[in-house]
Chain A
Amino acid sequence: MKFKGLLLIALVVSALISLVSPRFNPYYLDILLGIGINIILAVSLNLINGYTGQFSLGHAGFMAVGAYVTASVTMFAGPPLLAILGGGDSVAGVSILFFLGLVLAGVVAAVVGFLVGVPSLRLSGDYLAIVTLGFGEIIRVILQNIQAVGGPSGLKGIPPYTSFFWTYAWAAIAIYTVLALVHSSYGRGFLAVHDDEVAASAIGINTTRYKVTAFVVGSFFAGIAGGLYAHLKSFIAPAGFDFMKSFDIVVMVILGGMGNTFGVVVAAILLTVLPELLRPVAEYRMILYSLLIIIIMLTRPQGLLTFNWRPRAVRAHEQS
């Protein structure tokens, strides 16, 4: 199908760009990779908050889980594993190690997401938001108290493995996953749960299962994004994954338009670039940033991009 073809093209393009990306200006490359990571975070949260309509405020917590898991893998299990995988700095060895670390990060974050989701998703609306906020903070506080990963002072010297390829390959996979799920007869169930839970269960939809599934898939990608973030910044501390980080991601989702993947991607780009563009105004930066968000919210409450964008493959498929 064309859907998978688009994913393949995205993967190939990110690999090709990755060949030249080391020659990019490091400052721009840093922003570029930050955009990719934010895209993964926002698109995955959009499955939970947007498509399924379950307002979660704990995304940063799952990101933290992923960041610490991947960093632990590459820092503690890395040296002995690399020795086996062909030693030292071989690209293949590092790639395999980093890939495994990221996947493990996603899986662990997904498991935590499952454990948090099953009890929380009995609630809805404001209550769910508060409970997920609480769980996010609990995860952060637990990490703060594990001395093996640095406690409150965090982990330093994480190897800078995050490259253009890894970031954008995972961003493409996250976008593909969410779109592929939602654009299927099975996946319309997420939207049905969003629209009317009572009606959804009346047509045989196990609403709890759908909600937990959205939560688990969302947490998986938050974990991946966390792993990429850790190996981009080389330093992580629990304080970086507090609820303000969760709010940032929620703002991207709301600004992009709940349940509009394309809009959310645009919002993720915009909200990563905007603070950088505002650097020249120094101390007024965050005031301007907040003002701009308020203005956008007032003028485009339905999201930046309201038109119902769908890949041509999906439209053709729906018409067949």
Chain B
Amino acid sequence: MTTPAASTFALLELRSCTIRFGGLTAVSALDLTVERQELVGLIGPNGAGKTTVFNLITGVYRPTEGEILFNGRSIVGQRPHEITEHGIARTFQNIRLFPSLSVFDNVRVAFHLHLVSGISHALWRGRAFGEEEQVVAAQVMEMLDLFQLGRFRDAPAKSLPYGDQRRLEIVRALATRPQLLLLDEPAAGMNPTEKAELMKLIRFIKDKYKIAVLLVEHDMQVVMGICERIAVLDYGVKIAEDTPAEVRKNSKVIEAYLGEDHVAPG
């Protein structure tokens, strides 16, 4: 999926990104890099600006200052759907499925970017259209089965149990065939068993689809357990960036966020 020409660049690079809302500086001069197939965590106290970073990357907000490069090209000022087209997919903190669509259709609609068929094919319903629809249906089912959602295929998305909704949202994001997946608090509201499954799932996705993952999460067990590198935000400023083991020992991070309980047990 990676083009040879682009491989000399980091997959995603934020260069001193700042965004202000009136007098409030939500994110201040943030530098952040995600390499190909890397699993990076973004943590920090509530209101530190983590979700704002996601919204900057995905084009929901435009940075007041700074540059955002994806595969070496600037994506600042592009609209969210264009950024998804480049290969960045996301999930939302408060799950945003298409509630009235079936589980199957939630994933099917995400194949949209890679369809040859458009409006004219849908109207004419010729052979090429029928064949593509069958290919898409098969791929959707393959993904649903892979993530144990196949049995829900015709159920409305809103009727799914919470954990399955989270998983479906991830599957839908994967269906856009991203190179970078942004997960916004995927473990929120999960019990310990579900969290353990989620960790396995994220690792599995990263290995199977060979993509990078940027993870915003409050659950330290999850973040420390799977991330290769962690950046810590506090009041919009990056106060640390290191391996989980080092971040755990960082005095600034302990003071701002982790508290004494999380000092490395050994």
Interfacial residues, chain A to chain B (CB-CB below 8 A): 1, 3-4, 177, 180-181, 184-189, 191-192, 194-196, 198-207, 213, 317-318, 320
Is B98 close to A, CB under 8 A?
yes
Stretch of B2-10, B61-69, B131-139, B227-235 lying at the A interface: B131-139
Looking at the assembled complex, report how far the CB atom of A198 sits from the nearest CB atom of chain B, in whole angstroms: 6
Is B105 close to A, CB under 8 A?
yes
* B123 A192 Cβ-Cβ under 8 A: no
Total contacts A to B, CB within 8 angstroms? 111
Q: What are 7 inter-chain pairs, A to B, with CB distance below 8 A?
A: A180-B125, A184-B122, A188-B109, A195-B100, A199-B97, A201-B84, A204-B176
Which one, B100, B119, B130, contacts A186 given CB within 8 A?
A: B119
Complex alpha-carbon distance, A198 and B54, angstroms: 13
Is B30 close to A, CB under 8 A?
no
Is B175 close to A, CB under 8 A?
yes
Residues of B within 8 A of A318 (CB): 104, 137
Complex alpha-carbon distance, A180 and B99, angstroms: 22
Stretch of B85-93, B191-199, B207-215 lying at the A interface: B85-93
- The residue on B at minimum CB distance from A195 is B98
Is B110 close to A, CB under 8 A?
yes
Q: Given A185-B111, A186-B117, A320-B134, is A206 in contact with B100 using a C-beta cutoff of 8 Å?
A: no
Looking at the assembled complex, report how far the CB atom of A192 sits from the nearest CB atom of chain B, in whole angstroms: 5
* A207 B112 Cβ-Cβ under 8 A: no
Complex alpha-carbon distance, A195 and B133, angstroms: 22
Q: Given A186-B122, A189-B109, is A201 in contact with B98 using a C-beta cutoff of 8 Å?
A: no
* B112 A203 Cβ-Cβ under 8 A: yes
* B125 A203 Cβ-Cβ under 8 A: no
* A213 B108 Cβ-Cβ under 8 A: no
Is B262 close to A, CB under 8 A?
no
* B122 A191 Cβ-Cβ under 8 A: no
Residues of A within 8 A of B170 (CB): none
* A185 B84 Cβ-Cβ under 8 A: no
Mostly helix, strand, loop or mixed at chain B's interface? helix
* A199 B96 Cβ-Cβ under 8 A: yes
Which one, B105, B132, B172, contacts A191 given CB within 8 A?
A: B105
Interface size grouping (class) on chain B: 35 or more
Residues of B within 8 A of A192 (CB): 98, 101, 109
Looking at the assembled complex, report how far the CB atom of A177 sits from the nearest CB atom of chain B, in whole angstroms: 6
Looking at the assembled complex, report how far the CB atom of B204 sits from the nearest CB atom of chain A, in whole angstroms: 21
Residues of B within 8 A of A199 (CB): 92, 96-98
* A185 B99 Cβ-Cβ under 8 A: no
Is B79 close to A, CB under 8 A?
yes
Task: State the 5 A-B residue pairs at the shortest beta-carbon distance, nearest first.
Answer: A184-B122, A204-B84, A195-B98, A199-B96, A188-B109
* B96 A198 Cβ-Cβ under 8 A: yes
Residues of A within 8 A of B97 (CB): 195-196, 199
Is B73 close to A, CB under 8 A?
no
- The residue on A at minimum CB distance from B91 is A202
Complex alpha-carbon distance, A199 and B122, angstroms: 23
Q: Return the CB mask of B23-35 against A: 1 if under 8 Å, else 0.
A: 0000000000000
* A196 B98 Cβ-Cβ under 8 A: yes
* B98 A204 Cβ-Cβ under 8 A: no
* A205 B133 Cβ-Cβ under 8 A: no
Q: Given A191-B105, A201-B84, A202-B84, is A185 in contact with B100 using a C-beta cutoff of 8 Å?
A: no
Is B80 close to A, CB under 8 A?
yes
* B121 A204 Cβ-Cβ under 8 A: no
* B122 A202 Cβ-Cβ under 8 A: no
* B125 A204 Cβ-Cβ under 8 A: no
Which one, A196, A205, A317, contacts B96 given CB within 8 A?
A: A196
Complex alpha-carbon distance, A195 and B98, angstroms: 5
Complex alpha-carbon distance, A199 and B129, angstroms: 26
Complex alpha-carbon distance, A180 and B121, angstroms: 10
* A195 B104 Cβ-Cβ under 8 A: no
Is B173 close to A, CB under 8 A?
yes
Complex alpha-carbon distance, A191 and B101, angstroms: 7
Q: Given A201-B79, A202-B84, A207-B81, is A188 in contact with B130 using a C-beta cutoff of 8 Å?
A: no
- The residue on A at minimum CB distance from B138 is A320
- The residue on A at minimum CB distance from B129 is A184
Looking at the assembled complex, report how far the CB atom of B167 sits from the nearest CB atom of chain A, in whole angstroms: 16
* B89 A202 Cβ-Cβ under 8 A: yes
Complex alpha-carbon distance, A315 and B117, angstroms: 19
* A203 B172 Cβ-Cβ under 8 A: yes
Is B113 close to A, CB under 8 A?
yes
Looking at the assembled complex, report how far the CB atom of A38 sits from the nearest CB atom of chain B, in whole angstroms: 23
- The residue on A at minimum CB distance from B175 is A203
* B122 A181 Cβ-Cβ under 8 A: yes
Looking at the assembled complex, report how far the CB atom of A16 sits from the nearest CB atom of chain B, in whole angstroms: 24
Besides the known contacts A201-B81, A204-B85, 7 further A-B residue pairs in the complex with CB atoms under 8 A apart: A184-B133, A185-B111, A185-B133, A186-B119, A188-B105, A203-B173, A204-B112
Complex alpha-carbon distance, A219 and B133, angstroms: 28
Is B115 close to A, CB under 8 A?
yes
Complex alpha-carbon distance, A181 and B133, angstroms: 13
